[in-house]
């Protein structure tokens, strides 16, 4: 069973993901149709970051996965047999 702490962490991660998804969706889908001088533009970064930030995040995730797989492979490497 999950403890109270596990559930709290899970709920907070889901809430953060929902907030991030909503922010990004408004930024990419809604904002191009809003006038450039509208006050809503003050809450968002410039549009080029809508491509740069997810690309950098994906690169970091792939590097972490590769580092983890490499570390596991090095740790579980069997020594060579000497005849």
pLDDT one-digit tens code per residue, 58-78: 999 999 999 999 999 999 988
Task: Return the SS3 of 54.
Answer: helix
Domain ranges of the chain: 1-43, 45-83
Q: Looking up tokens 């740790």, which residue turns up?
A: 75
Span 38-47, average pLDDT: 90
DSSP 7-60: HHHHHHHHHHHHHHHHHHHIIIIIGGGS-TTSGGGGGS--TTHHHHHHHHHHHH
Q: What is the pLDDT of residue 80?
A: 77
């Amino acid at each position: 069973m999950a403890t109270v702490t596990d559930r709290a962490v899970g709920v907070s991660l889901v809430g953060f993901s929902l907030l991030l998804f909503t922010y990004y969706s408004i930024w990419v889908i809604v904002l191009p149709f809003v006038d450039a001088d509208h006050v809503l533009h003050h809450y968002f970064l410039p549009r080029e970051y809508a491509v740069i930030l997810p690309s950098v995040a994906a690169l970091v995730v792939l590097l972490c996965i590769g580092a983890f797989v490499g570390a596991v492979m090095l740790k579980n490497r069997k020594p060579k047999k000497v005849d």
